[in-house]
Amino acid sequence: MSKLFVSLDLSPSRAFAVWQRNLKVWSRLAIPSLLGNLADPLIYLLGLGLGLGALLPQVQGVTYISFLATGTVAFSTMNAATFEALYSGFARAHQQKTWEAIMNAPLSLDDVLIGEVLWAATKSLFSGAAILLVITVFGLASWQHALMALPLVLLTGLCFAGIGFIATSLAPGYDFFMYWFTLFISPMAMLCGVFFPLEQLPSFVQGAALVLPLGHAIGAIRPLLLHGELAGVWLHVLVLLAYALSGVAIARVLMRRRLLR
């Protein structure tokens, strides 16, 4: 068992090479990829924000579409990082054997994993930035606050990329990811305040939202976009960072056991 916990064999330049390789592959389909990442959150934003929002009074002192839009930034970021870590990550690690091919060069598993996590976070940053651009064009947030939110979007992406690669390291096939979304991702979207305030939920559910990473992502991003508030943001940042580091550490152990046994 101790063989699983070997010292970190990581070079930033080699990890960057993995990130750069994925960027080059993605750039060939960049526009369809971005449109795909935008479609789902925009449907929620326009369908619920304009449709349901017309029937609702203000929520937490703002219009419902403004409330929903700020939650959608975190929601979209989570989805983009998760899809990349799960489906694309699984394909490269297990189906296409891309990771094994890369490790025939002078790169380690740690280089590949960190490069993949950084790439998944980068893709989520593209998705979150696109949503931020849309809501600033619609006048739902100021561009100054949107720019300030970008580091939080990237951190949210790192968090869910790290966690996502745990599922990728355990998955026997693509069908496994349905359980991940059904039991983990979808409940967070319902319980962490994307679509409605946490105050509307029972106290025990509100407590659960304080533990789940999406709750902290929304807790950091929404006040900043709506009011320019940064009070308490460091607690959310520390929790997201802890999730990201823990996720990568666990995924590293599991991937090493699966690929290097």
Sign of torsion over alpha carbons 228, 234, 239, 241? positive
**What's at 210, amino acid-wise?**
L
Q: Is residue 6 part of a domain?
A: no
Q: Is residue 1 part of a domain?
A: no
Domain extent, residue 28, equals 11-259
Tokens of residue 193, six digits:
């305040």
Res 82 pLDDT > 80: yes
pLDDT digits (tens, 9 = 90+) for 197-222: 888 888 887 888 889 999 999 999 99
Res 47 pLDDT > 50: yes
Average pLDDT value for residue range 79-97: 94
Least confident of 39-43, 65-69, 99-103, 195-199: 39-43
Q: Is residue 126 part of a domain?
A: yes
Q: Is residue 161 part of a domain?
A: yes
Full-prediction pTM beyond 0.75?
Answer: yes
Sign of torsion over alpha carbons 34, 92, 117, 217? positive
Q: What pLDDT is stored for residue 53 in this prediction?
A: 63
Distances, alpha carbon 16 to alpha carbons 106, 109, 110, 242, in Å: 14, 13, 12, 22
| Number of independent structural domains in the chain | 1
Least confident of 4-18, 106-120, 230-244: 4-18
**What's at 239, amino acid-wise?**
V
Distances, alpha carbon 48 to alpha carbons 26, 51, 94, 176, in Å: 31, 5, 38, 30
Q: What pLDDT is stored for residue 4 in this prediction?
A: 41
Q: What pLDDT is stored for residue 2 in this prediction?
A: 40
| Backbone φ and ψ of 97, nearest 5° | 60, 30
Q: Is residue 181 part of a domain?
A: yes
